[in-house]
């Protein structure tokens, strides 16, 4: 399964909600494999099918290069803590830009695996932030949408400057 080209900001496809997966077949496994191969190729922590141009609700997360990955099909956050935490975030679709984003410290996520089996898991800290970030992407919410207007404008200016400097 090959690594695929990334959809780069400001491509409007990054703002579209992904469609729920309804069929568990070899095509789903192949797409998840492409997301995983692309995640590895670009050294990402998490990646969604929309990042590679496929509007399906698939997330792959691997918190460390030496850790196993998890594939989340149709993930949904079913519980969030009132406590908040900030983590530095960015996106392979907007390379070179990072900002601190505040999110729920703990969450519960319901999802299916590649066989269609239902799961529910708790996550906290950095893992919770990663899941929220990627599920936002499935919902058409790009990570900079979570910044204040001022911080978002500054990030966009830095990104524009980076793009002009890169031949």
Any idea which residues carry the catalytic annotation?
A: 134
Contact between 40 and 69 under an 8 Å Cβ cutoff? The reply is no
> CB of 42 within 8 A of CB of 33?
no
Alpha helix stretches (DSSP H) within the chain:
26-41, 125-138, 149-165
DSSP, collapsed to helix, strand or coil, labels residue 99 as strand
Q: Is the peptide bond before 104 cis (omega within 30 degrees of 0)?
A: no
Question: What SS3 state is found at 84?
Answer: strand
């Amino acid at each position: 399964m090959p690594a695929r080209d990334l959809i780069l900001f400001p491509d409007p496809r990054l703002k579209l909600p992904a469609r729920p997966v309804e069929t568990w077949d070899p095509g789903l496994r192949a797409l998840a494999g492409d997301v995983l191969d692309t995640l590895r190729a670009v050294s990402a922590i998490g990646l969604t099918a929309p990042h590679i141009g496929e509007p399906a609700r698939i997330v792959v997360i691997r918190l460390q290069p030496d850790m196993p990955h998890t594939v989340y099909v149709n993930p949904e956050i079913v519980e969030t803590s009132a406590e908040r935490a900030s983590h530095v975030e960015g996106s392979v679709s907007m390379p070179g830009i990072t900002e601190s984003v505040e999110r729920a410290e703990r969450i519960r996520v319901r999802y299916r695996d590649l066989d269609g089996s239902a799961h529910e898991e708790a996550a906290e800290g950095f893992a919770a932030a990663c899941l929220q970030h990627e599920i936002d992407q499935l919902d058409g919410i790009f990570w900079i949408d979570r910044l204040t207007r001022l911080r978002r404008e500054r990030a966009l200016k830095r990104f524009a400057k980076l793009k002009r400097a890169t031949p």
